[in-house]
Amino acid sequence: MIDIITALWGALLLIIMWFLRYYMKQRFFNSILDNIPGPPSSSFWTGNLQQFFGRHGYGFHEELAQNYGSVVKIHGSFGRRLLYVFDPKALHTMTVKDQATFEEGSDFIKCDISVSYSHASIFTWRSSANLLVFGPGLLSTLGEQHRRQKKMLNPVFSINHMRRLLPIFYETVHQLRIAMMSEAATGDGEMDILDWMGRMSLELIGRGGLGTSFDSLIVGTKSDYGEVMKSTFAALQDVFILRPLLPYVSRLGPAWFRRRMVEIIPYQPVRKLKSLVDKMADRSTKIYQEKRAALRDGDGGTSTQSGEATDIMTILMKMNMVADDEDRLSDDEVHAQVSTMTLAATDTTSNASSRVLHLLAEHPQVQEMLRREIVDACDGDELSYDQLNRLPYLDAVLRETLRLYPPATLLSREATEDTVLPLSEPILGVDGQLIHEVPICKGTELFVGVLGSNTCKTIWGEDALEWKPERWLSPLPNTVIKSPIPGVYSKLMTFLSGKRSCIGFKFAELEIKVILSMLLPTFTFELTDKPITWNVATVYYPTASPEDTQPQLPLKESANHFFANMHAIQQQYWAVRDYLSPVLKESKFKEHGRITPEEFVAAGDFLAYKFPVWSWEKGDASKARDYLPTDKQYLVTRGVPCLRRATALAYTDADEDAERLLSIGDLSSTGNEADEWVETHAGRASDIDSGANPGVIDDIPDVDDHTGEGALASAMGNVSLSGANGDGVGEIPDMDEIPDMEEEDLEADDDEATAAPRVTPTSRIIDSSEVEVAKGNLLQVRTYDVMISYDKYYQTPRIWLIGYDEASINLAFNRTPLTPPQIFQDVSADHAFKTVTIEAFPHSTSLQAASVHPCKHASVMKKVIERMNAGVIEEQQAQRKAFASGPASPKDKQKKWLFRRASGNGKEDKTPTTPGEEEMEGMRVDFYLVVFLKFIASIVPTIEVDSTTAF
């Protein structure tokens, strides 16, 4: 008993001695730091920390940056002295020269936290608050471990790789633009920009970083994982005041004990943070395991047309597999990069994008100048990586925003040993003496003065606190050029510097530039009457008022009038061009894929006869085309169902329906590349046979192109026009079930008066009770009226779409039309606003409809016809031999069309052939529209435009 008491007294004495030694040392260094100017302490218990970390603390940060000099003393808990540093030489010493001496603090890096990254095991790491959230990733490691990770990750964040990711950026922002237009059309003109930017950033890092999809970017839907990401930084801010306790808590027993203690702690912010981290860890584990399985099976992630993986995670894992032993990362380290990339790239970039749009709404003249620069450069097309970086005003707006409003400013370092911090310019001490260097005690915490460095008036000038993009359009002041600011980006500390600088700043820069280049030509952003307030946090976030706690950025959004005027001018140009174009007189459908008006009428007659859901219309008399019969100006079918949104066909690792650029032409004599067309959702398998179930898409099969010609044409060349599935790649289209409309010797059971009722085609007005509601999809069904007109300029058919909302499904009249943004929800992102646009319907004086632009129709149809024609001729020859050897069977009689020759007017040429004559007609022109509809079905995959699939 005495031994136990003696041991306890001895332990207590050691603790007291250690505390006295620590106190005296701190007192000595505090006496030195007390000579550094700074604000007075507001409390012994919290010092200035409430002012510094409070969400309304931006004014305090600005005070530190402007009122006390380049090194400022602030007070921590229990009288502890801290420093706020933005002297350029001191920053260079902290982040570059002596970076190992100034690491993230012990509460940031050096404590054991147990995090469950799978249900099977619990990992325990030498870690910190960062490690608690991310695992042993790039933001949570030090020294050699951090060096190895950054060396492995540098190539996938290089400029060259950003070029490869650019198509993914554009594709995602296209979807964002469609969704924002849809919300703008159905809402009150006010929109939460922060929510859309957050969803878009998460989806971008998902697709470009991890090769997976987190968010479908559809109005009214939410991503559970996105909500976790959005809440994590706010949850970290709620427990920020507890961070000094982490090094001591980490010594309380084994990992499982500490984890259990966290679970039973009655403090709600801690329990909320643990729940968020567990959810994030579970999703990260799933993504990582899927990646490993895909690589093991020889598959990759998001890939280019050549099949080469582009997503960062897949490339990292492949590089790690072949790395040298000394550079190879452990599975835990690779695994941790999933959460690191996702969380680090979501709120930071999305909030920076939101800040830019907010500033543009506050400065409409700047917004208009930037819009004109983008419009003049893009000319209606997407900008390349080099073009984006050659837009001076776009670059100036982004740099100025990141200078004055850096997204993250709560960044600190801790001295790992006693040292001295040199200064580029002396500061005036409280005692009136100049201080040329600052002694730093081991354990002293120093905040990196990002805002102070970016807004220092002695460096940037007296207007340093003004948002002036034009400052970047002329040479920067000599004070900026000559200042040894170590920032990795444009003399700014926004992305830090040295070995711990932000590795993804090029990713963030590209993302924001693509967003602005896509949204500004389409929308004009304006302020609402709500007083937007930006709040201090790990990442700054906006609210609708100082009292509001919900992160949001409401802005008014309207369609761009400039583009509306340009669209009107373009419409007039197209009308004049169409009027002056000559009418095609000679048949070119086999040679060039183009057809004459007479052939269009013949093909339309066949389509309307065999598929009665189609019918001829005459349109407005004032818009009638004299080269077409008055009563056959265009074809129409009504009530075509659309059971789901094309934008809902989200990309996932398991999904093989990646959109592809397909070659549809040969190389020209000039060496230019062949024409290309985007085939969407080519590999998506139907769950139910579409012939029996009109609610499921009957996709065109993907067929390998062995001849070097168009893959889309190849695929369509092997499609059965009767709806039957082929057994092989080279199968000839089966047209047995489509009897000749002009055949004179139809069997009695083929006569319409006596025949059994026809199969009801898929395109019809359907009852909502017939539609099975899919999980997460529509509650009711949209319908479309589909028209086919003849385009005299392109000499091909042209498809037009008019949509009606779900509530109109059972109404014959007073149906509610879909808005353009709603229609674009049913068009793949690669075609919306590009090959599919809203234009004036040529046979109406007032009707506007979505149209698939016919510029590529002839090229595609030419390849399709070439493929089908060869197969049909081969079958015709085989059937002729069969007929010559004996009497025809009843089924063979239905193939009589195989032997007929065209006379030029669509009628059968009954002139007998000479003995041995082998001339065959091949595919007839009146089948043109049947094939054409199958082609169109690949462009609007969720609209059942192809009514021929049920036959």
836 is written with which tokens?
A: 């599919």
- Average pLDDT of the chain, as a whole number: 74
Per-residue confidence band for 668, with pLDDT thresholds at 50, 70 and 90: very low
For the domain covering 146-360+502-519, report its CATH number: 1.10.630.10
* Whole-angstrom distance, CA of residue 326 vs CA of residue 694: 58
Whose tokens are 């359907």? That residue is 766
CA angle 494, 500, 504 (to 5 degrees): 60
* Whole-angstrom distance, CA of residue 339 vs CA of residue 225: 11
pLDDT surpassing 50 at residue 704 = no
420: phi then psi, degrees, rounded to nearest 5: -130, 135
854: Cα within 13 Å, side-chain hemisphere: 23
Q: Is 929:947 a contact under the CB 8 Å cutoff?
A: no
Q: Is 798:788 a contact under the CB 8 Å cutoff?
A: yes
Q: Is 804:817 a contact under the CB 8 Å cutoff?
A: yes
By the 10 Å C-beta count (0-12 exposed, 13-18 middle, 19+ buried), 320 is classed as: middle
* Whole-angstrom distance, CA of residue 15 vs CA of residue 20: 9
Per-residue confidence band for 229, with pLDDT thresholds at 50, 70 and 90: confident
pLDDT surpassing 60 at residue 673 = no
CA angle 395, 189, 850 (to 5 degrees): 85
Q: Is 945:936 a contact under the CB 8 Å cutoff?
A: yes
Domain 584-650+779-879+922-950 classification at class level: alpha beta
- The mean pLDDT of 241-262, rounded to a whole number, is 65
Per-residue exposure over 325-349, b if at least 16 CB sit within 10 Å of its own CB, e if not: eeeebeeebbbbbbbbbbbbbbbbb
Per-residue confidence band for 180, with pLDDT thresholds at 50, 70 and 90: confident
Per-residue confidence band for 711, with pLDDT thresholds at 50, 70 and 90: very low
What does the pLDDT read at residue 241? 62
The DSSP secondary structure of 828-896, one letter per residue, reads -TTTBTTTEEEEE-TT-SS-EEEEE-GGGHHHHHHHHHHHHHHHHHHHHHHHHHHHHHSPPPHHHHTTG
H or E element that contains 255: helix 255-264
pLDDT tens profile 439-452: 998 889 999 999 99
What does the pLDDT read at residue 63? 95
Per-residue confidence band for 693, with pLDDT thresholds at 50, 70 and 90: very low
Domain ranges for the chain: 21-113+122-126+409-468, 146-360+502-519, 584-650+779-879+922-950
539 is written with which tokens?
A: 């990442």
Query: Higher pLDDT residue, 566 or 805?
Result: 805
pLDDT surpassing 80 at residue 780 = no
400 is written with which tokens?
A: 């100025």
What does the pLDDT read at residue 401? 97
- The mean pLDDT of 538-563, rounded to a whole number, is 85
Please measure the distance between the N-terminal and C-terminal CA atoms of the chain and give it in whole angstroms. Answer: 96
DSSP reduced 3-state for 62: helix
pLDDT surpassing 80 at residue 207 = yes
pLDDT tens profile 109-143: 443 333 333 322 222 223 345 666 667 777 777 77
- Which residues are annotated binding-site positions for heme? 502
Percent of the residues in the chain that have a pLDDT greater than 70, as a whole number:
68
Residue 112: C-alpha distances to residues 115, 135, 252, 332, 373 (Å): 10, 11, 10, 15, 52
pLDDT surpassing 50 at residue 591 = yes
What does the pLDDT read at residue 82? 93
912: Cα within 13 Å, side-chain hemisphere: 3
Sign of CA dihedral 333, 339, 344, 350: positive
Query: Higher pLDDT residue, 910 or 392?
Result: 392
* Whole-angstrom distance, CA of residue 644 vs CA of residue 910: 49
- The mean pLDDT of 66-72, rounded to a whole number, is 94
Residues forming a β-bridge with 125? 113
Amino acid making up residue 61: H
pLDDT surpassing 90 at residue 459 = yes
Annotated catalytic residue: which of 111, 378, 456, 855? Answer: 855
Ranked by mean pLDDT, which of 28-32, 637-641, 649-653, 704-708 comes out on top?
A: 637-641
Query: Higher pLDDT residue, 58 or 888?
Result: 58
pLDDT tens profile 138-174: 777 777 887 888 888 888 888 888 998 998 899 889 8
- The mean pLDDT of 595-610, rounded to a whole number, is 92
736 is written with which tokens?
A: 């047995």
What does the pLDDT read at residue 293? 86
855 a catalytic residue: yes
What does the pLDDT read at residue 222? 76
CA angle 313, 347, 822 (to 5 degrees): 90
Whose tokens are 């065109």? That residue is 700
DSSP reduced 3-state for 678: strand
* Whole-angstrom distance, CA of residue 635 vs CA of residue 618: 9
* Whole-angstrom distance, CA of residue 785 vs CA of residue 636: 7
pLDDT surpassing 90 at residue 717 = no
For the question of whether the overall pTM of this predicted structure is more than 0.75, the answer is: no
Query: Higher pLDDT residue, 948 or 46?
Result: 46
Residues forming a β-bridge with 804? 783, 817
Q: Is 113:424 a contact under the CB 8 Å cutoff?
A: no
Query: Higher pLDDT residue, 53 or 912?
Result: 53
Ranked by mean pLDDT, which of 147-161, 630-644, 693-707 comes out on top?
A: 630-644
Query: Higher pLDDT residue, 307 or 738?
Result: 307
What does the pLDDT read at residue 111? 36
* Whole-angstrom distance, CA of residue 94 vs CA of residue 497: 10
pLDDT tens profile 295-307: 887 755 554 443 4
Q: Is 152:329 a contact under the CB 8 Å cutoff?
A: yes
What does the pLDDT read at residue 553? 95
Which segments within 240-288 are labelled E, that is strand? Answer: none
* Whole-angstrom distance, CA of residue 949 vs CA of residue 761: 8
Residues forming a β-bridge with 801? 786, 850
Q: Is 664:656 a contact under the CB 8 Å cutoff?
A: no
Residue 672: Cβ within 10 Å count: 9
pLDDT tens profile 818-860: 777 678 778 776 666 567 877 778 888 778 788 888 887 888 8
Query: Higher pLDDT residue, 702 or 43?
Result: 43
136 is written with which tokens?
A: 């042993």
* Whole-angstrom distance, CA of residue 125 vs CA of residue 255: 9
* Whole-angstrom distance, CA of residue 733 vs CA of residue 737: 11
Neighbouring residues of 682: CB distance < 8 A, sequence distance ≥ 6 = 657, 659, 660, 699, 700, 702, 715, 938
What does the pLDDT read at residue 217? 81
What does the pLDDT read at residue 2? 57
For 89-140, the three-class secondary structure string (H helix, E strand, C coil) is HHHHHHHHHCHHHEECCCCCCCEEEEECCCCCCCEEEEECHHHHHHCCCHHH
* Whole-angstrom distance, CA of residue 737 vs CA of residue 894: 8
Could you tell me if residue 776 is left (phi over 0), alpha (psi between -120 and 50 degrees) or otherwise beta?
left
Per-residue confidence band for 672, with pLDDT thresholds at 50, 70 and 90: very low
pLDDT tens profile 306-355: 345 678 888 888 888 888 888 888 888 888 888 788 878 888 999 999 99
Chain CA centroid to CA 244, Å:
39
917 is written with which tokens?
A: 């004559």
Name the architecture of domain 21-113+122-126+409-468.
2-Layer Sandwich (3.30)
